[in-house]
Structure 1
Amino acid sequence: MILTGLLCGLLLGFVMQRGRFCITGAFRDLYVTKSNKMFIALLIAISVQSVGFFALKEFGVLSVEPAENLAFFAVVIGAFLFGIGIVLAGGCATGTWYRAGEGLIGSWVALFTYMLLSAMMRTGPLGSFNSTLRDINIEHSTIYGSFGISPWWLVALLSAVTLFYVFKQLRKPKLKIAALKPKKTGLSHILFEKRWDPFVTAVLVGLIALAAWPLSVATGREFGLGITGPSANIMQYLITGDDKFINWGVFLVLGIFLGSFIAAKASNEFRFRVPDVTTILRSAVGGVLMGIGATLAGGCSIGNGLVETAFFSWQGWLSLPIMIAGTWVAAYFTIIRPQRLTTA
């Protein structure tokens, strides 16, 4: 059963690579280019997973209950640091895994420091700092629980908002781009050559995220998609050799890497790309902030921004806007301000 994590990861890595599903870009574009298309795609993925998650609970397939407490200060600080980190690293936690599968050396650097700091924040020298900050919590778990309402009201609201922005986006005039003559035909053209629509990609990501729940729970892991914990587990296993760190989540993230590699190789997008020293250093610092931030916040842009939001935890919906704020601050100092200085 644990190998279903590998299958789930393969699908996710393949879909995200071919669909260029980038959560960092979704956050950054809201500020830098004033485009909300990728963020709408994220809302689609959340909505698809949310509908399916509560349907599975309704039919008794899932009996997962969220954590009873909210580590407010840890989530706020961690989400903000994570938002800064993903801009410096050039991708979020999942994006770093799938871009490493494309051959980006900068992503390899960010991935290493991300895994290292995630492990250090759990069982290493920073473990006491992490536990001390996360022990400061308040008794809140879900939004619908706090308000004493059915979660389906929130599912309906989220779905309605998402559909509104989807239709609004689809009504915009499309830019005409000269299409190159396809080199592949049939299914091969669709899978490895044709440009994937972000909204279609988002539906697929949402379905994979939904499938992850019963597959993961069947192995005793009470969660859906998650990147930070499994990434830390890999580093902990490499250091200690203890098999207890090998679980469904570890196979998930390894599958993301392999799925992205397969997609990139088949679409002729795989190549080793070595960045300059400045980019490497920035990637390393970004990975450090990602590891510290995601651990404090209890999740990354997938664990919090995609999964926790889908079942309406306070942690998910608190961390999401703060991650975006961190992304905007980093984007200002790394993109906007340098451009202004150049044109001044």
Structure 2
Amino acid sequence: MLISGLILGLILGFIFQRGRFCVTGAFRDVWISGSTRWLTAFLVAIAIQAVLVNAMIAGGLISPGIPTLALAAVVGGSFLFGLGIVLAGGCATGTYYRSGEGLIGSWIALGFYAFTAAVMKYGFGADFTASQRNETQDATTIHGTLGVSVWVLVLGFVALVGYLLINQARRARTPLATLPPTRTGLAHVLFEKKWTPNFTAVLLGLFAALAYPLSQATGRNAGLGITTPSANIVQFLMTGDGALIDWGVLFVLGLIPGSYIAAKASGEFRLRAPDARTTVRATYGGILMGVGASLAGGCTIGNSLVQTALFSWQGWIALLFTFLGVGAGVKLFISTHRRPGAEAVAISSATV
């Protein structure tokens, strides 16, 4: 059953690349241009996953672990992660799928992200990480703290996302003219047609929910995750410990080839070498990503997508402080480097 992780990784790598899905762009667009188009799509993915996952929990099909809140670690780690993904030019998913497109700067960021996460989880940073993660509060889920059914939060959140989608539809602009299609049928949809944020989000929400039963069938009671599996790959290469190779490792190993298939088939694969400044930023960004995600207990997938759907305190606090970290990164590394008199320009997540 471990092979299901690799298959799902291939599928989601394909989806991430074709949909240009990266949480960095979703958060960054809000800070730079005020656009919530991609942020709304991200919330759509959370909402779909929340309904499906909590239904599976209620039916006794899955029993995912939910971490007890380590407030200081989650706040500080998520903020550092937010800074890091701005420097790296992409979050965990963005770094993986852009690596599959041939972006060498993403290879650099990904390498330092995985290596630093391994250092923080298994190396000389492990004691510090454990000490911070062990400083916990008596809080796990939001609904548990409030003493209400999780479905109160699920249905309320779904209603909020529905409201945002209605408003988005009212403000929708006339689509830009596109070139005539050169392919037909499924090939056109898979490799040529531009995917909308919400279409991508629906696919992500469905497959993120599917990850739970597939993963649990192998004894791993969790959903999608990228940081720990990435660290496990590095640790396996260092130690040869086969116990580190689990469903999550095979999942992340599928992301890059899945992205490569999508990029190659759609004509978007091209090796691109970064300049010196981008290389330095990718290096520091990857390091901050590894440190931040290890302390926070997850990245924009493990926390901001997966734990939010479970309505854990860790997930929603991580989402908030990652968003704030991205905002700080925009101010420090983007806004302050514009030419004098230049206007802020929205940077689409399609370029992330």
TM bin (shorter chain) = over 0.9
Aligned AA (1:111): L
Aligned AA (1:12): L
Equivalent residue runs for 1:191-210 within 5 Å = 191-210=190-209
Preserved CA contact (<8 Å) 2:63 2:221: no
Q: Which residue of 2 aligns with 1:45?
A: 45
Aligned AA (1:8): L
Distance 1:23 1:176 in 2: 23
Give the number of aligned pairs.
343
Distance 1:311 1:341 in 2: 45
SS in 2 for 1:232: helix
Distance 1:275 1:62 in 2: 44
Residue 59 (str. 1) matches residue 74 (str. 2): no
Aligned AA (1:253): V
Q: Which residue of 2 aligns with 1:308?
A: 307
Q: Which residue of 2 aligns with 1:159?
A: 158
Distance 1:232 1:216 in 2: 18
SS in 1 for 2:21: coil
Residue 14 (str. 1) matches residue 21 (str. 2): no
Q: Which residue of 1 aligns with 2:325?
A: 326
CA-to-partner distance for each residue in 1:249-299, whole Å, 9 max, x for gaps?
011001111110100010010010001011011001000000000000000
Aligned AA (1:97): Y
CA-to-partner distance for each residue in 1:49-97, whole Å, 9 max, x for gaps?
0000111112111123423x21110001100000000010010011111
Q: Which residue of 1 aligns with 2:3?
A: 3
Equivalent residue runs for 1:287-306 within 5 Å = 287-306=286-305
SS in 1 for 2:164: helix
SS in 1 for 2:338: helix
Aligned AA (1:53): V
- Indicate how the Cα distance of structure 1 residues 237 and 34 shifts in structure 2: closer, same or farther if over 3 A, else same: same
Distance 2:71 2:167 in 1: 35
Aligned AA (1:186): G
Distance 1:123 1:19 in 2: 34
- Indicate how the Cα distance of structure 1 residues 246 and 148 shifts in structure 2: closer, same or farther if over 3 A, else same: same
- Indicate how the Cα distance of structure 1 residues 6 and 285 shifts in structure 2: closer, same or farther if over 3 A, else same: same
CA-to-partner distance for each residue in 1:161-209, whole Å, 9 max, x for gaps?
1000011101114234121011111111111000001101100000010
Q: Which residue of 1 aligns with 2:251?
A: 252
SS in 1 for 2:309: coil
Q: Which residue of 2 aligns with 1:25?
A: 25
- Indicate how the Cα distance of structure 1 residues 199 and 343 shifts in structure 2: closer, same or farther if over 3 A, else same: closer
SS in 1 for 2:2: coil
Distance 1:48 1:208 in 2: 10
Equivalent residue runs for 1:1-344 within 5 Å = 1-67=1-67, 69-339=68-338, 341=340, 343=342
Aligned AA (1:325): L
Question: TM-score by structure 1 length?
Answer: 0.98
Preserved CA contact (<8 Å) 2:10 2:258: yes
Q: Percent identity?
A: 51
SS in 2 for 1:251: helix
Shift of residue 14 of structure 1? 0.6
- Indicate how the Cα distance of structure 1 residues 46 and 137 shifts in structure 2: closer, same or farther if over 3 A, else same: same
Preserved CA contact (<8 Å) 2:21 2:93: no
Distance 2:63 2:331 in 1: 43
Distance 1:343 1:35 in 2: 19
- Indicate how the Cα distance of structure 1 residues 123 and 176 shifts in structure 2: closer, same or farther if over 3 A, else same: closer
- Indicate how the Cα distance of structure 1 residues 238 and 140 shifts in structure 2: closer, same or farther if over 3 A, else same: same
Shift of residue 220 of structure 1? 0.8
Unpaired runs of 5+ residues, structure 1, are: none
CA-to-partner distance for each residue in 1:201-241, whole Å, 9 max, x for gaps?
10000001000000001111110000000000000011111
Distance 1:189 1:171 in 2: 28
